[in-house]
Structure 1
């Protein structure tokens, strides 16, 4: 796959967006397995809940744990893109966002290889990018469709913040930088109602501790 075909234009380097990266059947497979996980697998935050697979990242290093086979399938799909300079992905963060839930502007930080790859399941969302400054000027918005993959690297990973607003409906805007990359034709001012979204962020943690969890 030639990633240049999927590069989002007119934004700082670099964002790649692949609509229909997975099928609807694969999406259903992911959602089924996420919600089949036992309750202790979930971490509950004030505005959402999440699951970690492969280990919990820490600045001193991640203690690796076995990846379930259903999830390894999608990690292999990411590895086939050869994004991490020969390194294999080894950690997955799954977030559940109910309509009206989001996440504050942030960066993922230096404990990860400087690339984010995220598969979106269940619902679209709008990913917002901001200058990392007191002024907090918006850089761009991305429409993340169901079954899509977004890849964020270079300056867009390290220099800019990303966030999701806590709204239940989005109105299509010309500020959405990837409209021409989307799998569906959208029109300005179209209203899209959010449903429950499951995001699957697959990445590499370079620093691994030798202890393993069974």
Structure 2
């Protein structure tokens, strides 16, 4: 299932958090309020992204990221190619059968690196080069971090097919509840 190659600029780090940290992060999210504005449940931290306007406006600031995110944010800054503290995080909950359509994270909204931490269940992410149509895929394992930068951030779309299971090494692997935590930095105009 894992691609022989990933888009240039993509970095995949398995076991970025421990199983204990994974449980603590999921529990912290579940004490918060999940929005049901989309087909999947979401939570916004730092800045709220407006899905309809496809923008982050000046009045969308929600406050600093919560303290319980500090260890992950510090690791993103100090131990990865992300290289800075994020100021925005969106948590997305995917139940079996749910996914997200092919997209590139909002270019005028967010800085040049996007990091996504997978919790609780694995799923396949597909990539497609916008100009050539070349495709590849990656199995996102629980506790793994994916960083998209450069070509992977701007020239390739990424998506999670909406299905109940993925085929891994020729075997059907049912999906369970998955939570992704996507870390970004908001671009603010003068």
- Do the structures match in fold with TM over 0.5? yes
* TM interval, short-chain normalised: 0.7 to 0.9
Alignment of 1:48 with 2:45, yes or no, is no
Alignment of 1:107 with 2:99, yes or no, is no
TM-score scaled by structure 1?
A: 0.77
TM-score scaled by structure 2?
A: 0.86
Alignment of 1:143 with 2:139, yes or no, is yes
Deviations 1:132-163 (A, max 9, x none): 26xx9351001100111111111111011111
Tell me the residue number matched to 2:81.
Answer: 83
Distance 2:14 2:174 in 1: 19
Tell me the residue number matched to 2:14.
Answer: 19
Distance 1:160 1:113 in 2: 16
* Range with bigger deviation, 87-96 or 97-106: 87-96
Distance 2:117 2:71 in 1: 13
Tell me the residue number matched to 1:92.
Answer: 89
Q: How many residue pairs get matched?
A: 181
Cα shift at 1:207: 1.2
The structure with the largest alpha-carbon Rg is 1
Structure 1 stretches of 5 or more lacking a match?
Answer: 1-7, 173-187, 210-214
Given that 1:84 and 1:113 are in contact with CA atoms closer than 8 Å, whether structure 2 keeps it comes out as no
Distance 1:25 1:70 in 2: 14
Given that 1:122 and 1:198 are in contact with CA atoms closer than 8 Å, whether structure 2 keeps it comes out as yes
Cα shift at 1:127: 0.7
Distance 1:72 1:16 in 2: 21
Cα shift at 1:13: 1.0
Alignment of 1:198 with 2:158, yes or no, is no
Tell me the residue number matched to 1:32.
Answer: 27
Given that 1:109 and 1:158 are in contact with CA atoms closer than 8 Å, whether structure 2 keeps it comes out as no
Distance 1:189 1:165 in 2: 17
SS at match of 1:201: strand
CA RMSD, 1 decimal: 2.2
Given that 2:48 and 2:56 are in contact with CA atoms closer than 8 Å, whether structure 1 keeps it comes out as no
Distance 2:114 2:42 in 1: 17
Distance 2:128 2:164 in 1: 21
Deviations 1:1-52 (A, max 9, x none): xxxxxxx863331111111110000000001011111x3xx22134201001
Deviations 1:82-124 (A, max 9, x none): 6356x43111010000001001111102211121111110100
Cα shift at 1:198: 0.6
